[in-house]
């Protein structure tokens, strides 16, 4: 039986990356997709038709066992997450995601799941390696000695270790990607859990449409980041799932910009310019976060194909349509 005719479970299908992964699997010809998310259906980033959509809280062990029954492969993207502002204020809630990881791994072992993918994060990396703006990119081995981002980062690092030990002791096939700032259409763009790409797009749109002259920026704008467009993320995810690499792998872009430069790009897309009010008391995250892609390039010949400018233009246009539809009191535009 072809793998595409076996059941594939996407845990966290209510979120940005998970919902896009479901749509991508459908496009590839997978015929039995089980999409699971904890949020009510109306709050899903996307609810893809023609798949088995299930609303369940995967922190519950019995729920994990039920959805994993008969499954060939699992993409585990379910966790409590959000932008830096949310993560810094909800450390305990983020740590509770370890229940999802624990119970899903146990369910995968019990039901003889053949492949298990875990979406980790660049938040696992040592804080001390993310202070020098001129420092090198983060390599996979830089996660140890461990000094992860408090709350969210520690949960991700611990769940990585569980995957490793389930593989070593029980023979469960596990693969791990460390995502770096994934963005694109369908990402969360308001409500307090959005990432910086969506937040900047929304702020520029709000200012432009409301005739404002200024936008608020968290920090001094000199924080440095790399951003990964969703299509590149999905391609890398499939490559890692089917790769021989047993250790966590960076999945990010090497194109690096400051927050100020990110705003410059979005303003140029919008055809406008604003003053910037820097809020030095707001959460700003680490000084620098960039991916070293040596391993994924060498082993899987993967590198991003979408430039930051092109990806931001697609993202800005989508958020603009969503914003204007909401302001008119109509339904969001699914495009």
Distance spanning both ends of the chain, measured CA to CA: 34
Residue count of the chain, please give it. Answer: 335
Pick the catalytic residue: 30, 116, 125, 152?
Answer: 152
Residues 6+ apart with CB under 8 A from 183: 195, 197, 198, 227, 228, 229, 230, 311, 312, 315
Handedness of CA 131, 132, 133, 137 (dihedral sign): negative
152: annotated active-site residue: yes
| Cα 57 from chain centroid (whole Å) | 19
8 Å CB contact between 83 and 194: yes
For 175-234, what is the HEC assignment?
Answer: EEEEECCEECCCCCCCCCCCCHHHHHHHHHHHHHHCCCCEEEEECCCCCEEECEEHHHHH
Q: Give the integer Cα–Cα distance in Å for 236 and 62.
A: 31
Q: Give the integer Cα–Cα distance in Å for 182 and 233.
A: 7
Nearest to 195 by CA among 38, 86, 83: 83
Place of tokens 């960039």: 290
Give the H or E element holding residue 277. strand 275-279
Place of tokens 């949020």: 39
Half-sphere exposure of 327 (CA within 13 A, CB side): 11
Catalytic residues: 152
């Amino acid at each position: 039986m072809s793998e595409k005719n076996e059941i594939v479970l996407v845990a966290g299908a209510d979120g940005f990356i998970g919902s896009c992964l479901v749509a991508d699997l459908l496009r590839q010809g997978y015929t039995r997709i089980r999409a699971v998310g904890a949020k009510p259906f109306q709050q899903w980033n996307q609810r893809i038709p023609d798949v088995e959509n299930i609303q369940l809280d995967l922190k519950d062990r019995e729920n994990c066992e039920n959805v994993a029954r008969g499954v060939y492969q699992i993409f585990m993207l379910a966790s409590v997450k959000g932008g830096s502002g949310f993560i810094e204020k909800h450390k305990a809630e983020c740590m509770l995601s370890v229940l999802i990881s624990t119970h899903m791994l146990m369910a995968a072992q019990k039901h003889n799941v053949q492949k298990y993918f875990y979406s980790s994060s660049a938040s696992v990396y040592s804080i001390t390696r993310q202070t020098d703006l001129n420092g090198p990119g983060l390599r996979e081995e830089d996660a140890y000695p461990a000094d992860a981002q408090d709350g969210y980062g520690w949960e991700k690092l611990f769940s990585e270790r569980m995957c490793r030990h389930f593989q070593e002791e029980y023979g469960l096939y596990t693969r791990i990607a460390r995502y770096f700032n994934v963005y694109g259409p369908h990402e969360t763009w308001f409500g307090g859990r959005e990432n910086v790409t969506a937040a900047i797009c929304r702020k520029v749109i709000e200012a432009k449409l409301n005739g404002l002259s200024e936008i608020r920026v968290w920090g001094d704008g000199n924080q440095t980041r790399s951003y990964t467009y969703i299509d590149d993320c999905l391609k890398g995810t499939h490559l890692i799932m089917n790769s021989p690499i047993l250790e966590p792998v960076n999945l990010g872009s090497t194109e690096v910009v400051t927050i100020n430069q990110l705003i410059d790009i979005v303003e140029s897309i919008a055809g406008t310019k604003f003053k910037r009010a820097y809020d030095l008391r707001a959460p700003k995250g680490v000084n620098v976060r960039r991916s070293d892609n040596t391993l994924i390039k060498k082993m899987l010949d993967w590198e991003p194909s979408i430039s930051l400018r092109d990806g931001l233009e697609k993202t800005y246009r989508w958020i603009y349509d969503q914003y204007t539809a909401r302001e008119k009191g109509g339904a969001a535009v699914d495009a």
